[in-house]
Structure 1
Amino acid sequence: MGRIFPKEFPISGSSRPHGPQADVRFALHQRQPRADKLDAAQREICRADPAFAEALRKRVKDPRRFAAFVAGAAAYIRLGEPCGTCGGFRRRTRDRACYTCHLARSGANFERMKAGIAPVVGRSRDSHLDLLARQRAERDGECIEKQFGQVVVRRFPTGRLEVQFPDGHVEHDLSKTQGEHVWRLMEMLPEMKDALVWAGWF
């Protein structure tokens, strides 16, 4: 009795390619301009190759996201689509995820890194003691102060950002301010954007 072979079915072809196609112009970079995950390697290529930067810009739908990416900012403000979880307007430049939710998930270590301090990766007791130490340092008035035009910004060891405006008003914790209000402030005070870029907000 002869062997029975399974019936073969032809695979239907498609006249259209699937997914974004590779651009041969960027073969030497060993990277293609992809907008799903923006990273530092792509930024370096953009600075060296204007054609790559232009191709990537066309694939990034939100011009604010691309501007934040070029500037090296960790987040940007997107008023048209608030987060469904927290209602925030700040988005991660890397992948468009909610920046506020990202901070909440990352906990105190992320705030520590944002303040320019190495994270504690030991036991939870060490992390707790570290947080207490940073809170104590903040109560003692330790901070990094920088002036942008008429705007004075203070970044504290806990990651809190305090802003003093030209009229003397002080916003003690900018993270508690609504995204729409922050955006209006940047429109009224151009130096405010520079301050937020310095603080890693924009």
Structure 2
Amino acid sequence: MVDALHASATAGTERSISSAWLRQTVKPTGARNSRARGFWQVAPYASKLTRAHRAAAKADHAFARALREQTIYPQRIDALIAGRTWFDGKECAKCGGSRRRVYDVACYDCTQIGRGFKTGTKGRCIALPPAKLSRDGWLARNAERKREAAGEYIEYSSGEWSARQYPTGRLSVRCLAHHIDNPDFRTVHGSRIFQLCEQHPDLLILLRRAGWSI
């Protein structure tokens, strides 16, 4: 009798454990699982076109046709599918350009003027690197490059060594006796420069005349 009661209790415990395990493992059903969704999670409206519109238009011709019906520029949808950021549209009254943005049909050239970013090949905004020079410094650098291109330089000599210093700061060092002809001595490593100056005192005098602190 005791064994029968023990077996019955054990069976009941196993049934309760198996029922609890099934409740934990079986996925519950409800509105979340049975909710019907459309094939594309974006409406075929052409006011502003995004990457979701492009993915849907490339995969579904009916979606692309619906987009073309919403815009007066069919070439805009062609540019969207091709992955371009602009298309040829109506001439801009402000700048006279005919390039229009695929995203919102705005003038492509006007949106690029005075902006701190540029658009990549995929139409994404790319932040410009921080400016290394001010406007005055940039103009001065351009003026120095023009003077160098025009042939302006200051020449120094010491013994068999000669050098030309250009407006951009470039120093060309030459010594035919030692087969040295470097168009930009700034690219030479510092330890090598000190080694050459120890071997050739005339080079040390030459660099000091050019304004180098050695």
TM-score by length of 1: 0.42
Q: Which structure: larger Rg?
A: 2
What TM-score do you get using the length of structure 2 for normalisation?
A: 0.40
Higher RCO (C-alpha 8 Å, min separation 6): 1
